[in-house]
A = this chain, B = another copy of it.
Amino acid sequence: MIKSENLNDILFYSLERAIKSYRQFAQRQLVKHGFNITIDQWLVLKTLHDNPEQTQHQVAETIFKDYASVTRIIELLVEKQYLVRTMHAADRRRFSLTLTENAVKLLDNMQPVIDQNRSLALKDINEMQTSQLQQLLNQIIKNTQSDSI
């Protein structure tokens, strides 16, 4: 019913739609499995679990989020008792961020759902296509980084 320049033909529109669609899907699956956590909160936990010594700044860069957002997500994770903040031994500007046992269990329990989400979302797309897609996305990222303009 929609005429004109046809949004569907615009690549970036599809990009936006695909990632939003995936995020909504992934979030629904988490809710469906009874996990009371957002995708973004999970991402922060996961990153800290993998690299515990990161500063919040590094976390933000790793997961491509704003510093302010990371501060606020971490606040929520502390409230939910998934993270403990303590003074950093060597640098008093920083905090040490430690996952609680609950958080570690949570990550373990979530991993199968996360894996399933990914494979369901990639149904009928083979490995070669996935890696081509990766390359194109990386090219777009390269083209749009601040310094490349």
Contacts and interface: CB of A to CB of B under 8 A. Distances in A.
B134 A133 contact: no
Main secondary structure, interface of A, reads helix
Interface stretch (A2-10, A79-87, A92-100): A2-10
Number of copies: 2
Given A136-B129, A140-B122, A143-B124, A22 B15 contact: yes
A90 interface: no
B143 A11 contact: no
Interface residues of A, number: 51
Contact of A123 (B62, B124, B129, B143): B143
Interface of A: 2-5, 7, 9-12, 14-22, 24-26, 28, 47, 50-51, 62-64, 118, 120-125, 129-130, 132-134, 136-141, 143-146, 149
